[in-house]
Amino acid sequence: MQNVIKTPPRNLSGGAWLLADMSLNIWALTIVKALGLGYPAVQIVFLRACVGLLLMLPWAWQARHSFSNIDRWHLHGLRVLFSTLALTTSFFAISRLPFALVTAISFTRPIITMIMAVFFLKEVVAGRRWIAAIIAFIGVLIAVEPGTLPFTWGLPAMFLTVLFGTSAIILTRKLAGTPTVVMMVFYTAGLTLLTAPLAAYFWTPIVTENLLPLLAIGAFSQCAQFCFLQAHSRAEAGFLAILGYLSLLLTTAIGYFVFDEIPSVTFAIGAVLIVASALWTTLSRPRPSETRTRV
C-alpha cells in the first residue's frame, strides 16, 4: 500500500521560478512578433526546438541514468502533442495581434487551469483565490474591449493556444515527480520531430540578419521551459495561475516601447484589476489546508 504524504507547497520559490519563466518567454515572443510575419510559425517552432535540443544534449548525457525507469509514456506523448500545437498557434497569433491583447486572452488559461486542477489534480484552491480569479477575468474582459478589434486569424489561433496550453499544463502537473531533465528532453525532442515535416514543407529561406535572433528564440525558450518546470514542481497550480497575470505589465511595456502599441484607458482599467488580483494572491500566505497531497 502506498503511503500518503502531505507536503506544503513552496509557493514563494515556485513563484520566483515562474517570474523567470515569464521574462524569458517575453524576450522570445518579442523576437517572434518582430519576425513572425516573414516566416511560417511551424518553421520558427522547429528552429526553436532544434536549438533547445542542442542545448539539452550535454545535460541529458550527464543525467542519462534518469531515463532508465520512464513510465507513463502516453502522458508524455500527449503533453508533447498539446505543447507543440499550443506553441505553433501562439507563434502564429503573436505576430498578428497586439502584444498585450495576446497576453490578455492567454489569461483565460490560468483560470481554466485552476478549475481543472480542482477536478483532475484534487488540489484545494482557497476562496480568496476564486475571488481573485473572478476579478482578474472581469479585468481581462474590460482590457480586451470586445467588438473594437477587426477580425484576424490570430484571434481563433490564440483561443486554440489557450485550449492546447491548458491541457499541456495539466499533463505537466500529472507528471509531477518525473525528473526535470526527462520532461525537458521529451518536450524538446518531441517538438523537433513533430514540426520537422511541416517545417520542411513550408520552409522559407532565412535572411542572414534574422538568423541569430531566430536562434535566440530557442535559447530563451529552453531556459524558460526549465524555469516553468521548476515552478510547477514547487507551487500549487492555482497560485501560479494567478501570479501569471503579472506578465501583462511586461507585455504592455514591450508593446508600447518596441511596437508602438498604445494601450487605451479601458485596457489600463482592466490591467489594474488583473494586476491587483495577482498581487493579492501572491502576497497572501497559504493556509495549512492549502496543501498538496502526493501518493
C-alpha closest to that of 248 among 172, 142, 121: 142
Average pLDDT over residues 209-238: 88
Q: Decide if 127 contacts 280 (C-beta within 8 A).
A: no
As a whole number, the mean pLDDT across the chain is 82
Cα separation, 286 vs 289, whole angstroms: 8
Tell me: pLDDT of 176 over 80. no
Cα separation, 217 vs 204, whole angstroms: 17
Which range (45-54, 89-98, 137-146) has the least confidence? 137-146
pLDDT greater at residue 32 or residue 171: 32
Average pLDDT over residues 166-181: 83
pLDDT greater at residue 142 or residue 50: 50
> Is 0.75 topped by the overall pTM?
yes
Residue 178 pLDDT: 83
Q: Which residue has the cell 490570430?
A: 154
Residue type, 233: S
What value does the CA radius of gyration of the chain take, rounded to a whole number of Å?
Answer: 19
Is 82 buried (19+), middle (13-18) or exposed (0-12) by CB count in 10 A?
buried
In the three-class reduction of DSSP (H, G, I as helix; E, B as strand; rest coil), residue 2 is classed as: coil
DSSP 227-247: HHHHHHHHS-HHHHHHHGGGH
Average pLDDT over residues 162-186: 84
Q: Decide if 232 contacts 79 (C-beta within 8 A).
A: no
Cα separation, 28 vs 21, whole angstroms: 11
Per-residue pLDDT reduced to its tens digit, 213-226? 999 999 998 899 88
Residue 285 pLDDT: 46
Average pLDDT over residues 249-260: 88
Q: Which residue has the cell 502522458?
A: 75
Average pLDDT over residues 143-156: 77
Q: Decide if 99 contacts 252 (C-beta within 8 A).
A: yes
CB atoms within 10 A of CB 18: 25
Residue type, 33: K
Tell me: pLDDT of 77 over 80. yes
H helices present in the chain, as ranges? 11-35, 41-62, 73-94, 99-106, 108-120, 127-144, 154-174, 180-201, 208-234, 237-243, 247-259, 265-283
Share of the chain above pLDDT 90, in %: 32
Residue 138: phi and psi, rounded to 5, are -60, -40
